[in-house]
Structure 1
Amino acid sequence: MDISISFIFLLLIQTPISSSKTFDNNILRQGSSLSVEKSSDQLISPNGVYSAGFFSVGDNAFSFAVWFTKSSPPTAAWMANRDMPVNGKGSKLSLLKNGDLSLTDATGIHIWNLKTFSGNSQTVQLALADTGNLVLFTLENVPRLLWQSFDSPTDTLLPDQPFANSSTQLVSSRSQGQHSRIAVFDTSGFFKSSDNYTFKPSDFGMGPRRRLTLDYDGNLRMYSLEETTGKWDVSWQLESKQCRIHGVCGPNSLCHYDPYNGRTCSCLPGFKIKNHTDWSYGCELESKIICNRTRVGFLQIPQVDFYGYDISYISNSTISRCRTECMKLCNCKGFMLKFDEWRGVYDCFPKFLLINGLRSPEFTGTSYIKLPIDRMFLFSNNNSTQNVSMLDCSGLGKSPTGTLSFDHGGLTAHGRLVTWVKEKMNKAAATRDHSWVEEIFDPSLGCEYDINKMEVLVRVALLCLEEDKDSRPTMRQVVEMLASQQ
């Protein structure tokens, strides 16, 4: 605020109020306007660093904006109507005689406006400061600030622009962020917030023009302008690991990153992409979940973390207790069971939203997602099983599905178990004795089950684990085999 008032006094010294022009290089007066059709209708800061006017955001689409004059292509620092661009003909920004500032489209509809309640008796002007701050102020008696763009940033902060009150937000095209009650960075690039969070860019020091931008991918980055080329260099970023950016792939998805292909997103098993042009919308269920514990199950995804959005926290839990708690709640989308190495116990985190999904070999937890029971075997992308498991004691009559662990058609850690089960099956084949099923079933699950259906489940699981990929059933064949037991 003090910077803006000082700037107003400077304007009074430099610019004669009685000027007959509707606008000088950096000032727009009452009763005048800037037209989208005149490229020369711009306000330019006294130091020439910033310009304000109509900024092209698409084919015949414009926003009234403040941008860096020397960047190539021009880079916007603030926009009045970013989400509602106006037509390239007939649109204008007007400083009305009553002191109101209004942006209208070709039909005269008000797209964006500021009511100052200053009245016709006061002299009101709009000016662009050296800081990039667009300021609306009165000149009667003591200069008074009516509005400034620094109080309503879009996706960018400029040096010395305070990020201060509870309503101030940086908003990217699909993400938003607010990190402290008060925060600011200076012209050297040093950032500090009221909670003592600080950082410096790699080129810390006086010199380059800077901006701090919340980019469309959700990452916060500081840029430095190389004025000789007009290009921007990233001098700092909040997250260097692309999959750590909050919500980058949207809900119900997993984020993957490798140096060769960059970041990719994929839907969780049982989900489909919601918007093929924007991953930030995430994925949605292929089949609606009915809030009925006999019609849902849980799909196990090892070493996957869904950060945040916990319904509750259950210390020293078991998988059975965690599953029961999630099953009780219709808004529970799944749960995470994480091993605490220091305490030697598992903790449970029921989730009301599955977002920020990331698989990591170092993660000591397992996630379980809730799915309709009739979709439990339909989670393959390429007709092959994936690194997921089923956990349930419902569906297929009253038989448990048990825990069937697959890894892209090949067994990873249960070779001995498979050999043991096959031996049991081969010995019982000649006598048609089904007692082998009772021997391999884990009684701790505490479920009633149909022995014939349980046998089919085991046989299907073993077929999926065949070493020869041509011997493995397709997912359609798996479904048909299971459906035959309904």
Structure 2
Amino acid sequence: MSTSCSGALRAATTKALLLLVVAVFVVSLSRPFPCAAAARDSLLRGASIAVEDHATDVLLSPDGTFACGFYVVSPTVFTFSVWFARAADRAVVWSANRGRPVHSKRSRLKLNGRRRALVLTDYDGEVVWNSTVSANATATATAARARLHDSGNLAVEDASGNVLWQSFDHPTDTLLPTQRIAAGEAMVSADKLLAAGFYSFRFSDYAMLSLVYDNHEMSSIYWPNPYYSYWQNSRKIYNFTREAFFDASGHFSSSDNATFDASDLAKNVAVRRRLTLDTDGNLRLYSLDEVTGTWSVSWMAFSNPCIIHGVCGANAVCLYSPAPVCVCAPGYGRAEPSDWSRGCRPTFNSSDDGGQPRAMKMVPLPHTDFWGFDINSSENLSLDECSTRCMSEPSCVVFQYKQGKGECYPKSLMFNGRTFPGLPGTAYLKVPADLDMLEIHIHQWQADSDGHGIAAIQEDIVGCGGMSSPEFLLNVSNASSSKSNQGKSIWFYFYGFLTAFFVIEVFVIAFGCWLFSNKGVFKPCQVSALDEGYRMVTNHFRTYSYAELQKGTRKFQSEIGRGGSRCYKM
């Protein structure tokens, strides 16, 4: 009897538990998940968002394209931002406090009712940012909600839907379709931590839409082309409208006649786009592939990044071959090994130990130009006359000389340096006459007269460790005329080996990309759009005569190895 009662009790208990599990499951289905419950398009008056809930408590636009909330800059650093929710890299299009991020604990965004509206506070309660209601709003205007629209615009509205404040009136580094940039407003580039950078996109004092570099010490316009007049750039000045925007089809227009189009213009008006002033100072228009969630560049202001001002800092030159490479001018060394925007500083003193000026000489840098900072300019001068002017002027550090008209441009600062084949003119750098500087440090595009003595120059741009000058390894063939046939044989095998290695490498890379992309292991091989025009290569090549190599290696004194050919250190 007791056995049967025990069995019946166990059966009843099991049945009750099953019914309880089913009931809990049904109730859970009848309620939205926490993430879904927090995903809303509006923040009502008196409500707030806590930084601890950043993964779930966000505002979503009705169509789900944009999200707004606390954005993770690092594990302990957050900004309150708007970003593309459907993009793989969650491109940020607006930030309230990119210059003053908040902590990952106890930070909060709250919607108040009166003039301050949205208020962002840090962990200690300090107000970091607030969206002061527009002065155009009535004195009795009360914020009823903050709403994220399908356009990506975050707006504070009253109970009737009237906009009291909107993020579209305060662009950061990105412009969205239908968003306008007007007089007094500017897009400002972001650095790697989303703080404001040195580049801006705004109307200049002449009411001309321009890209401006400003590092708080010097400022210059680099787009439209500063060498041209406004009519050569097809622009209008002193226009009173001062307004620019681009539409969903990818067409950009401005009141000063600036205009450009996306490469995929009108192919699909539903394409999501953004115009971003990137960290490197290049203005790019991006199109989103919503299937893959990746961005592609559909227009950019510069195909040659060396034209962008400040890309290498002061006393440096940007080489374009065809990727941008920063190098210090001869006699100068890196100011900050990890940041080329800090430029280079001289490794010499202009005066001797007694305070007397040192004798100087001019070092030629062919096909090189430093934009701006002209002391004066003249035409119909000989090279010697131009050199004399710079030598006699203490503030002159370099002069630009162009043959033909005899154009002479003495300069007080080496900035915005660039060099590439075909660039007219030569820059002549003023350095102490006794400065021990090898000619090989000077970048030139000139072929060796007899074809011998090809040298490979390697400079570690990224991790140079603060070296004032790069380390040069020269792979030198035997240049003696009595052994010319042996040298040709060595180079034949050398180039044959390189060619075979290159073919094999291309085949392996292509096969690997095809294999892994088909199996879903990796995404298709492609270069990130943000890396376009930005990465720095680490080596560059030129040819040298045997006499140059003999001089540079001090008659081949320091042999560091040998194989098919000998290697010497400069």
8 A contact 1:99–1:119 mirrored in 2: no
8 A contact 1:246–1:356 mirrored in 2: yes
SS in 1 for 2:52: coil
* Residues 1:193 and 2:254 are matched in the alignment: yes
Structure 2, unmatched stretches of 5+, are: 1-36, 192-196, 203-208, 210-241, 445-472, 475-544, 559-570
For 1:463 and 1:227, the matched residues in 2 are separated by: 57
Q: Equivalent residue for 2:148?
A: 128
Taking structure 1 as reference, are residues 305 and 158 closer, same or farther at Cα in structure 2, changes over 3 Å only? same
* Residues 1:363 and 2:423 are matched in the alignment: yes
Compute the displacement of 1:91 (Å). Answer: 1.0
Residue identity (%): 38
For 1:107 and 1:23, the matched residues in 2 are separated by: 25
* Residues 1:178 and 2:201 are matched in the alignment: yes
8 A contact 1:151–1:168 mirrored in 2: no
For 2:360 and 2:408, the matched residues in 1 are separated by: 19
Instruction: State TM-score, norm by structure 1.
Output: 0.68
Structure 1, unmatched stretches of 5+, are: 1-21, 389-407, 410-461, 476-486
Taking structure 1 as reference, are residues 98 and 367 closer, same or farther at Cα in structure 2, changes over 3 Å only? same
The one of 176, 182, 186 equivalent to 1:158 is: 176
8 A contact 2:438–2:552 mirrored in 1: no
In structure 2, give the amino acid aligned to 1:128.
L
Aligned residues: 371
8 A contact 1:210–1:225 mirrored in 2: yes
Compute the displacement of 1:52 (Å). Answer: 0.8
* Residues 1:347 and 2:407 are matched in the alignment: yes
8 A contact 1:304–1:357 mirrored in 2: yes
The one of 377, 384, 397 equivalent to 2:436 is: 377
Compute the displacement of 1:159 (Å). Answer: 0.8
Taking structure 1 as reference, are residues 238 and 45 closer, same or farther at Cα in structure 2, changes over 3 Å only? same
* Residues 1:249 and 2:309 are matched in the alignment: no
* Residues 1:31 and 2:94 are matched in the alignment: no
Of 52-61 and 297-306, more deviation after overlay is shown by 297-306
SS in 1 for 2:386: helix
For 2:149 and 2:124, the matched residues in 1 are separated by: 31
For 2:56 and 2:356, the matched residues in 1 are separated by: 65
In structure 2, give the amino acid aligned to 1:111.
V
* Residues 1:204 and 2:265 are matched in the alignment: yes
Compute the displacement of 1:160 (Å). Answer: 1.2
Compute the displacement of 1:64 (Å). Answer: 0.6
In structure 1, give the amino acid aligned to 2:315.
N
Compute the displacement of 1:346 (Å). Answer: 1.2
| Superposed CA RMSD | 3.3
Of 78-87 and 116-125, more deviation after overlay is shown by 116-125
Compute the displacement of 1:170 (Å). Answer: 2.9
* Residues 1:285 and 2:346 are matched in the alignment: yes
The within-5 A match list for 1:53-452 is 53-100=69-116, 101-116=118-133, 122-124=141-143, 125-139=145-159, 145-173=163-191, 174-178=197-201, 180=209, 181-205=242-266, 206-258=269-321, 262-289=323-350, 294-327=358-391, 330-339=394-403, 344-373=404-433, 376-378=435-437, 384=440, 386=442
**Deviations 1:295-341 (Å, cap 9, x if unpaired)?**
544332122112334333222233344344445655443221123xx
SS in 2 for 1:175: strand
Taking structure 1 as reference, are residues 468 and 281 closer, same or farther at Cα in structure 2, changes over 3 Å only? closer
In structure 2, give the amino acid aligned to 1:299.
V
**Deviations 1:116-162 (Å, cap 9, x if unpaired)?**
3889954213222221112234447xx65443222222211111111
Compute the displacement of 1:272 (Å). Answer: 1.3
8 A contact 1:224–1:234 mirrored in 2: yes
